[in-house]
């Protein structure tokens, strides 16, 4: 068994014992020194990139044990500025656009903050617009996060993948998601796995519909 994701990665572990003689006891280790849990279904957040071998040992009333291993692969979080440096984008509907330039690794990203005045269902539309010098490497991803900055939680995302070596242009709409009035959220524009020093034109909209 294995799972993967970018740091910080929160994993909800579950166990469903069968056989043996109940009640059961549980001991989870998470591949981090000193970090354990005796809950049946614990939650653990991995804050640093790396491969973590998580081990569950279940013991029944008679002392019989069963071991289950889970490999968790955590990749690095997007490098560079955080949402603390986000440009204010105002109320919903919010529309942002611009040009980003990839770093030497081919990545680029930036943040926008916004605060809806009304609670409701919203949609995220992201576009890889015409122009720019990137010719189709990697992909462009748009995410909506909930703050505060030190504990952002991903809510929704859309990904624009190149449709051809010379035509990385297109838009994508998300499913509906709920935003709460007065809460600060963030739009993350993230170009990953591209050409170093390439430019990408983008636009994104959070609104009550997604045409």
Helix (H, G, I), strand (E, B) or coil at 49: coil
pLDDT in tens, 35-81: 999 999 999 998 777 789 999 999 999 999 999 999 888 876 555 55
Whose structure tokens read 């903050």? 113
Q: Which of the following CATH numbers is that of domain 83-207: 3.30.1360.230, 2.70.98.20, 2.60.120.380, 3.10.20.30?
A: 2.60.120.380
pLDDT of residue 165: 47
Q: In what helix (H) or strand (E) does residue 115 lie, and over which residues does it extend?
A: none
Burial per residue of 22-52, b for 16 or more beta-carbon CB atoms within 10 angstroms, e otherwise: eebebebbbbeeeeebeebebebebeeeeeb
- Straight-line distance from the first to the last Cα atom of the chain, in angstroms, rounded to the nearest whole number: 39
**Bridge partners, residue 8, by sequence:** none
Report whether 169 contacts 130 (CB < 8 A): yes
pLDDT in tens, 148-205: 775 567 788 888 776 444 555 688 899 999 999 999 899 989 887 778 888 889 999 9
Here the tokens at position 134 are: 């990137």
pLDDT of residue 38: 97
Task: For the full predicted model, state whether its pTM sits above 0.85.
Answer: no
Fold of 2-75: Immunoglobulin-like (2.60.40)
pLDDT of 2 strictly over 50: yes
Q: What distance in Å separates the CA atoms of residue 117 and residue 20, rounded to the nearest whole number?
A: 55
**Domain-wise residue ranges, the chain:** 2-75, 83-207
pLDDT in tens, 23-40: 999 999 999 989 999 999
């Amino acid at each position: 068994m294995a799972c993967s994701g970018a740091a910080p990665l929160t994993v909800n572990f579950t166990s469903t014992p069968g056989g043996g003689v109940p009640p059961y006891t549980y001991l989870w280790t998470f591949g981090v020194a000193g970090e354990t849990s005796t809950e049946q279904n614990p939650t653990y957040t991995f804050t640093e990139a790396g491969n973590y071998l998580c081990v569950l040992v279940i013991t029944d009333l008679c002392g019989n044990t069963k071991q289950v291993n889970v490999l968790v692969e955590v990749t690095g979080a997007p490098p560079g500025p955080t949402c603390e440096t986000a440009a204010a984008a105002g109320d919903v509907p919010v529309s942002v656009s611009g040009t980003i330039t990839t770093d030497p690794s081919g990545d680029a990203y930036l943040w926008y903050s916004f605060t809806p005045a009304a609670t409701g269902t919203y949609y995220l539309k992201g576009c890889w617009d015409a122009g720019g010098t990137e010719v189709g490497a990697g992909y462009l991803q748009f995410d909506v996060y909930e703050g505060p900055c030190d504990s952002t939680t991903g809510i929704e995302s859309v990904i624009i993948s190149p449709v051809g070596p010379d035509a990385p242009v297109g838009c994508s709409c998300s499913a509906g998601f709920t935003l709460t009035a007065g809460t600060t959220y963030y739009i993350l524009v993230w170009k990953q796995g591209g050409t170093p020093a390439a430019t990408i034109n983008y636009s994104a909209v959070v609104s009550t519909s997604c045409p």
